[in-house]
Each structure stands twice: as C-alpha cells, then as structure tokens.
C-alpha cells in the first residue's frame, strides 16, 4: 500500500441483459441491457457515488460498457474500456440456454459443479485464462490509482469473481465453490491493506449499500 490511505476497487457486474432474462449463456456475445438492466445501472451509479470513485474502467462488451458509462455519467468521472475485462469466452455454449448446455454437455456440467476448470464449450476459455488477462488489466489500472483513490471496474460475473479471487490470493476452485456469483449490478469492494488486498464486501447492490460495513470497531 502506498501512503496511509488505502486504495479501493469496486468490481461491478453489468446490469441484467435480454440473455440473462432468458437464461442464455452469453460469454462474449454482445447482448444489450434489458429495461430492468438500465434501471439497475442507474441505481448502482447513484449508490456508488458514496465511494467517490475517480474513474471507471469497463469491459468493451456493450452490457458492461453501458453499465460503466452510466456510472461515469452519474458520478461525473472519466470512463475507459479494456477488453481484458471481458466475460469468459464460453465457446460452443454461447447462445444456448442452460438446459441446452446440460443436455448436450452433461459431463462438462458435472465438472463445472465440482469446481473443475476447463475450456468452456470446447474452444472457449478456462477461468485460469480469464484470471490471467483480468489481472493484467487490474495491474495496469493500479499503476494509475493514487493512495486513497477508488476505481470502478464494470465487468461480468465470471470475470469479476476471477479477478477478485486472483487479487486477494484465493485459488480459483475455492472461489468458484465458496463465493456466490455476483448478481446483476451487484459489486465487490476490495480494499488495499499493508499485507495486500482483501474483500471488504461481496455481492452488495444499491438495495444493500446503506448497510455497508467499513470494518471499523
């Protein structure tokens, strides 16, 4: 940690999309926010103003980019995009419903439930692949984040959990099994300490933001 003031990262999952609502595996398909997702992004942006973020970096996929753009506009801060924060590429699963994936890839779905890591949909990415590229994006962001500053990373469900786990040193299998997936427009707050980064809150949203605990006794 540089200086006496901790830096913060808010890892924010995008708002609901039309594919989320239909139960479709998105991966890196570029589906738009639903009307509900747009409203979720507006609510999250207002709630995140409490953290006084200085910038937003978003995945370039439109669902995350629009969510990040909403936070940047409402909070009056700069926005940039970085493809390293994209969702996991799910290969042949992309565009299929959960039931269709289960029917066509039953062994892979069993491995997924066990926390095994493998390239999704045959030619997609593994969680390890996602963690590696997301960590490169985080490291680049931290080079520009001063002591006491907060940045928002507008990303995706698998990508958000992978980057948070990597930053705090939790192995990906443990994080997959132990950390619930981030809900639409829910976020994790990561705080830098003298011994490294820690997860301060997990799966918070605009509805729960008023109960945020700073960890002060």
Which residues are identified as catalytic? 14, 87
Counting beta carbons within 10 angstroms of the beta carbon of residue 146, is it exposed (0 to 12), middle (13 to 18) or buried (19 or more)? Answer: exposed
Q: Can you say how many angstroms the Cα of residue 44 is from the centroid of all Cα atoms in its chain? A: 14
d(CA 152, CA 54): 8
Strand 79-81 to strand 55-58: parallel, antiparallel, or no bridges (unpaired)? parallel
Strand 196-204 to strand 187-193: parallel, antiparallel, or no bridges (unpaired)? antiparallel
d(CA 69, CA 58): 8
Token pair 């639409």: residue? 184
Angle at alpha carbon of residue 101, lines to 98 and 102, rounded to 5°: 85
């Amino acid at each position: 940690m540089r200086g006496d003031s901790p830096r913060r990262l808010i890892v924010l999952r995008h708002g609901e999309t039309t594919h989320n609502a239909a139960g479709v595996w998105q991966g890196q398909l570029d589906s738009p926010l639903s009307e509900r997702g747009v409203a979720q992004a507006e609510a999250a942006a207002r709630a995140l103003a409490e953290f006084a973020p200085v910038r937003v970096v978003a995945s370039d996929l439109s669902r995350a980019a629009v969510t990040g753009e909403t936070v940047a506009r409402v909070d009056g801060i700069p926005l940039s995009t970085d493809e390293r924060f994209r969702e996991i590429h799910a290969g042949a699963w992309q565009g299929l419903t959960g039931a269709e994936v289960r029917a066509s890839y039953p062994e892979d779905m069993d491995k997924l439930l066990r926390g095994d890591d493998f390239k999704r949909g045959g030619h997609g990415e593994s969680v390890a692949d996602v963690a590696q590229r997301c960590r490169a994006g985080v490291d680049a962001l931290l080079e520009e984040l001063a002591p006491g500053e907060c940045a928002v990373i507008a990303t995706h469900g698998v990508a958000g959990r992978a980057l948070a786990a990597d930053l705090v040193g939790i192995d990906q299998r443990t994080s997959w099994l132990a950390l619930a997936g981030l809900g639409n427009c829910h976020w994790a707050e990561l705080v830098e300490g003298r011994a490294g980064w820690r997860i301060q809150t997990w799966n918070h949203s605009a509805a729960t933001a008023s109960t945020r605990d700073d960890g002060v006794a």
